[in-house]
């Protein structure tokens, strides 16, 4: 079990094992072996948070004057050790279960700290049974989580591949027969609900223009085209369960199609509007968002409540290419969209945008200067979100500010990032393309971005990326 030791007089900020938000009064910590010198597992993640009393969201707990708030992102328990340096009472040791918040309050050097677990305050360790306070519990090693993911893109007429990150843990090119003797096939996005259940969506091209849709299913053996009459070009998809997927796109009008486990059928044809849907994501079958192109006076945004699709008015003046939903429609919160001034394909650069829907209102984000068009967005909480886009752009939201993160050495902004996805905060990928067949896949490991596949020249442009979490 990892042990996190904290003292109240020092400050810390890095990305190795702990993420600390701004405003925390602590300036020192150690994160490593326990008393028996057993090495800690670097897969543990904890997060310092700032309570509402200090003017920012982060901790769901009540305001306090002096505090230390920690959340365990898992997948294993973490031992939190606090010593106020004056030996007022015994130092406190708290085993933090996966997914729990712990906060030390009243950290005055002359008093014994109290412990708040989620929203319950405990005066002494003996009262804190939920966290097994005051001693260490050794548990059997749990299976480590992993991720299965696909990256898709252009399939040349002479045959091509898709990119797969399987349980073996290495990105590899998987050959397929998703070709057409007369048209070029482009897979624009991919989504899955299980290792043996992915749908890739896209379009076929004639003379440089998308003319019809393309749907293909992965069953853990092969990719197989699903032939559907009169389907439009598709640009995004998302699945909630094996018998429930959405695909969005359009040709001359925005269209949304759904998979019911047996067939794809049209669910919405936005006949009064020529704008095209580009991305879709949701919470469940009764709470889904589809977004797309801008048209005066707003961007194309529709919401599905489990019964029907309805337009959502907004003040957004940019094309939307990514959406990530993290909260229910009823709550009015936690829907993030990104995009920019440029079209879906072709030119690179322009001006990027991010909006968050909070309390039913779309709020623009303040982005780093000169942020170009953003193509995809993915997150794990409202304080841990990634967005990627043109000219090597990678930005991260930590709950307070959007910050630019550098690409891996040697890429130099030559790639436009079209997709970002992760199963866990310490395992995130982004796919880059040049528009001329070169591609690269990079990975965030909780510390920095690095190249994990490529760069590959004259192979295939990558456009879509998603996956599913699994336990080995």
Tokens 């003996």 sit on residue: 126
Which one of 40-49, 59-68, 75-84, 287-296 scores highest in mean pLDDT? 287-296
Give the number of other Cβ atoms within 10 Å of residue 312's Cβ: 19
Q: What is the pLDDT of residue 100?
A: 65
List the Cα angle 434/290/251 in 5-degree steps.
65
pLDDT category at 228 given cuts 50, 70, 90 is confident
The per-residue pLDDT for range 131-185, each reduced to its tens digit, is 444 333 333 344 455 889 999 999 877 767 899 998 768 899 898 889 888 888 9
Q: What is the pLDDT of residue 126?
A: 44
Report DSSP letters for 134-158, one per residue.
TS----PPPPPEEEEEEEEEEE-TT
Q: What is the pLDDT of residue 29?
A: 37
Q: Which long-range contacts (CB under 8 A, 24 or more apart) does 156-161 make?
A: 156/184, 156/460, 157/181, 157/183, 157/184, 160/460, 161/460
The number of angstroms, rounded, from the C-alpha of 6 to the middle of its chain's C-alpha atoms is 29
The per-residue pLDDT for range 270-281, each reduced to its tens digit, is 988 999 999 999
pLDDT of residue 434 exceeding 90: yes
Q: Residue 31 and residue 18: Cα distance in Å, rounded? A: 8
| pTM (2 d.p.) | 0.73
pLDDT category at 346 given cuts 50, 70, 90 is confident
Q: What value does the mean pLDDT take over residues 252-274?
A: 94
Q: Residue 375 and residue 278: Cα distance in Å, rounded? A: 10
Q: Residue 245 and residue 223: Cα distance in Å, rounded? A: 17
Q: What value does the mean pLDDT take over residues 418-437?
A: 93
Q: What value does the mean pLDDT take over residues 99-126?
A: 52
pLDDT category at 424 given cuts 50, 70, 90 is confident
Which is more confidently placed, 106 or 163?
A: 163
Q: What is the pLDDT of residue 277?
A: 98
| Residue 230 contacts residue 239 (beta carbons within 8 Å) | no
Say which residues have a Cβ less than 8 Å from residue 378's Cβ, sequence separation at least 6. Answer: 322, 324, 385, 386, 420, 421, 422, 428
Say which residues have a Cβ less than 8 Å from residue 296's Cβ, sequence separation at least 6. Answer: none
Which is more confidently placed, 435 or 6?
A: 435
Give the number of other Cβ atoms within 10 Å of residue 37's Cβ: 7
- Tokens coding 334: 């936690």
Report DSSP letters for 420-464, one per residue.
EEEEETTEEEEEEE-SSS-EEEEEE-SS-EEEEEEEESSS--EEE
| Residue 15 contacts residue 109 (beta carbons within 8 Å) | no
């Amino acid at each position: 079990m990892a042990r996190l030791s904290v003292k109240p007089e020092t400050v810390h900020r890095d990305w190795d094992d702990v993420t600390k938000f701004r405003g925390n009064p602590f300036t020192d910590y150690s994160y490593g072996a326990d008393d028996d010198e057993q090495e800690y597992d670097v897969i543990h993640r904890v997060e310092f948070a700032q309570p509402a009393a200090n003017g920012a969201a982060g901790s769901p707990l009540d305001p306090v004057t002096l505090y230390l708030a920690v959340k365990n992102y898992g997948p294993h328990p973490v031992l939190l050790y606090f010593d106020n340096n004056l030996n007022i009472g015994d130092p406190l040791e708290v085993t933090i279960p996966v997914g729990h918040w712990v906060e030390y309050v009243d950290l005055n050097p002359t008093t014994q700290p109290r412990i708040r677990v989620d929203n319950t305050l405990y005066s002494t360790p003996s009262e804190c049974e939920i966290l097994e306070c005051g001693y260490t519990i050794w548990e059997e090693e749990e299976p480590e989580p992993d991720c299965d993911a696909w990256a898709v893109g252009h399939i040349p007429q002479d045959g091509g591949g898709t990119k797969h990150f399987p349980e073996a843990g290495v990105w590899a090119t998987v050959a397929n027969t998703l070709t057409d003797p007369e048209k070029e096939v482009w897979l624009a996005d991919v989504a899955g609900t299980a290792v043996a259940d992915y749908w890739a969506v896209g379009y076929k091209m004639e003379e440089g223009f998308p003319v019809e849709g393309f749907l293909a299913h992965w069953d853990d053996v092969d990719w197989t085209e699903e032939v559907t009459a009169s389907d439009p070009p598709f640009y995004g998809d998302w699945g909630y369960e094996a018998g429930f997927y959405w695909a969005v796109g359009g040709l001359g009008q925005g269209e949304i199609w759904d998979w019911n486990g047996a067939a794809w059928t049209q669910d919405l044809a936005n006949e009064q509007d020529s704008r095209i849907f580009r991305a879709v994501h949701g919470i469940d079958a009764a709470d889904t968002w589809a977004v797309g192109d801008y048209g005066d006076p707003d961007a194309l945004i529709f919401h599905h409540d489990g019964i029907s699709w309805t337009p959502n008015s907004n003040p957004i003046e940019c094309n939307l290419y990514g959406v990530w939903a993290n909260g229910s429609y009823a709550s009015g919160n936690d829907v993030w969209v990104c995009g920019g001034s440029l079209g879906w394909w072709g030119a690179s650069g322009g001006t990027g945008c991010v909006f968050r829907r909070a309390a039913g209102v779309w709020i623009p984000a303040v982005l780093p200067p000169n942020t170009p068009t953003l193509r995809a967005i993915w997150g794990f909480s409202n304080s841990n979100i990634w967005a990627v886009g043109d000219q090597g752009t990678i930005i991260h939201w930590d709950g307070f500010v959007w910050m630019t993160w550098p690409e891996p050495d040697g890429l130099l902004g030559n790639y436009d990032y079209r997709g970002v996805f992760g199963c866990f905060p310490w395992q995130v990928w982004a796919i880059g393309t040049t528009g001329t067949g070169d591609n690269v896949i990079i990975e965030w490991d909780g510390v920095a971005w690095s190249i994990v596949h490529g760069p590959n020249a004259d192979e295939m442009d990558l456009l879509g990326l998603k996956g599913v979490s699994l336990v080995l």
